[in-house]
Amino acid sequence: MISKLRKLKESLTKTRDSIFGKISQVFTGRKIDDDLLDELEELLLKSDIGVSATEKIVENLRETAAREKTAENEDVVSLLKTDISGILQKNKRDIVFDPASRPMVWLITGVNGSGKTTTVGKLAHYFKKTGRKVMIAACDTFRAAAVEQLEIWAERSGVDIIRAQTGADPAAIAFDAVSAAKSRGVDILLIDTAGRLHTKANLMEELKKIRRVAEKVVPAKQIQAHLVIDGNTGQNALSQVKIFMEAVGCDGLVVTKLDGTAKGGVIVAISEELSVPVEFIGIGEAIEDLQLFDADSYAEALFNA
């Protein structure tokens, strides 16, 4: 079986080929001096990690070089990996299951096409595999095919699904789903939501309503919102997170489609500039193509194949 790190490295090929792999090739074995730092800064600014992370990393390297006489022998790329990994785990939060607060309810949010439904399916599989009792709810009743799409995922992952007809009130389904999850002793209920309504305000109102209704069944602290972001979004991901965070909160992120994008550096920008943890990453369309996010592995895979 292909290892988790190997698979991650394969998935990040485009991101690595765009900038990070070059950094690794060009700088390995070179002395850390002003020339190198200038070159590095220029490259990092092109990489989607953002201005703030770039400055932090370059400053750190400058200080290390000034502090340590042996800086000439320091491997720049190892230092970079350590710095980036540090940024990536800044907001780290473990997913904790408390048997006394069942079910935990995850509202899966995000714009249309970001990968919500696919992620719900993969998460259902992931949590089931790790021994949890999982249920999913089809609250995207806006798009005709959405419920059927989720049903296929429920079958694949072997978990219960709560659904209603297309056009039904998503909040009503959410109410039924949370109630059912509570009475059946479910550990985690994953609620798939719509991404495109007539207006953005409309979508946010619907999400808020789903949340309010869920709070009638279980304590508010058991309800979380997890935002799914398409990795191709690049730096625009930051504004998406902020918009959803304001409306329904954002307890964690899933960044998808990292297998097809050169913009995988954006996870560094998100971690540096926002206080939300990246919890999972999507690296393909299949059920197993979801990984619990690991900062060290990600930093390693950015630079080395």
Ligand X SMILES: Nc1nc2c(ncn2[C@@H]2O[C@H](COP(=O)(O)OP(=O)(O)O)[C@@H](O)[C@H]2O)c(=O)[nH]1
Binding site for ligand X (CB under 6 A): 110, 112-118, 195, 256-257, 259-260, 282-285, 289
Task: Tell me the three state secondary structure of residue 136.
Answer: strand
Binding mask 140-159 for Mg ion (x = CB under 5 A): x-----x-------------
Minimal CA–CA distance to 249: which of 273, 271, 225? 225
Q: Please, what is the minimum distance in Å from the beta carbon of residue 130 to Mg ion? A: 24
Which residue lies nearer to ligand X by CB, 135 or 258?
258
Q: 103-135 burial, b if ≥16 CB within 10 A, otherwise e?
A: bbbbbbbbbeebbbbbbbbbbbbbbbeeebbbb
Query: Could you tell me if 48 and 35 are in contact, meaning their C-beta atoms sit under 8 angstroms apart?
Result: no
> Residue 284: which of ligand X, Mg ion, none does it interact with, CB under 5 to 8 A by kind?
ligand X
> Residue 112: which of ligand X, Mg ion, none does it interact with, CB under 5 to 8 A by kind?
ligand X
Query: Could you tell me if 244 and 225 are in contact, meaning their C-beta atoms sit under 8 angstroms apart?
Result: yes
> Residue 21: which of ligand X, Mg ion, none does it interact with, CB under 5 to 8 A by kind?
none
Does residue 117 touch Mg ion according to CB under 5 A? yes
Which residue lies nearer to ligand X by CB, 252 or 284?
284
Distance CA 299, CA 295 (A): 6
How many CA atoms within 13 Å lie on the side-chain side of 124?
A: 31
Which residue lies nearer to Mg ion by CB, 117 or 233?
117
Distance CA 172, CA 210 (A): 8
> Residue 277: which of ligand X, Mg ion, none does it interact with, CB under 5 to 8 A by kind?
none
Binding mask 97-116 for Mg ion (x = CB under 5 A): -------------------x
Does residue 256 touch Mg ion according to CB under 5 A? no
